[in-house]
């Protein structure tokens, strides 16, 4: 299974000329070439759509088709996302990991947060939940409900 890429651009990013007409022509040609690939979809959010949270920060949705794991949304930037010092995190393998193949590690010892990371990439990014959100997430998993 190949990676599927769906990109949503703000129309202003396409209309605003940055670097001159030649640079814009090259940028648009690159977008058209990328959109021609079968695993890439490019959409434009129209200006008349009004304010949209996706226009002020990057949003990444990780989907795990065929796995027990739910989809995950990651927002980069914006006031809601902060930096957390995870050096004192005490990581343990989650009891929700399936046969060790999709292991996640959870750190619950940090004040005010629950951190989650991929055990196969311990130096990579970690998702951070409030303890209340983590409890609600686990309750939904236990109830067999979708958490997307």
> Cα angle at 32 between 30 and 33, to 5 degrees?
65
- Please state, for a pLDDT cut of 70, what percent of the chain lies above it: 68
pLDDT category at 77 given cuts 50, 70, 90 is very low
Residue 59 pLDDT exceeds 50: yes
pLDDT for 127:
80
Q: Which residues of 74-99 are buried (b: 16+ CB within 10 A; e: fewer)?
A: eeeeeeeeeeeeeeebebeeeeebee
Taking residue 106's Cβ as centre, other Cβ atoms within 10 Å add up to 23
Residue 23 pLDDT exceeds 70: yes
Of 21 and 60, more confident: 21
Average pLDDT over residues 21-38: 92
């Amino acid at each position: 299974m190949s990676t599927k890429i769906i990109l949503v651009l703000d129309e202003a990013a396409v209309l605003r000329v940055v670097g001159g007409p030649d640079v814009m022509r090259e940028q648009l040609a690159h977008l058209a070439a990328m959109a021609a690939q079968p695993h890439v979809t490019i959409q434009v959010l129209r200006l008349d759509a009004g304010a949209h949270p996706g226009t002020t920060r990057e949003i990444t949705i990780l989907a795990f088709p065929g796995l027990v794991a739910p989809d995950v949304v990651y927002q980069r930037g914006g006031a809601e996302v902060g930096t957390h010092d995870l050096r004192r995190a005490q990581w343990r393998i989650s009891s929700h990991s399936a046969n060790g193949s999709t292991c996640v590690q959870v750190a619950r010892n940090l004040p005010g947060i629950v951190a989650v990371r991929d055990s196969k990439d311990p130096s990579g990014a970690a998702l951070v939940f409030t303890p209340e959100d983590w409890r609600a997430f686990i309750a939904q998993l236990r109830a067999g409900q979708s958490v997307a």
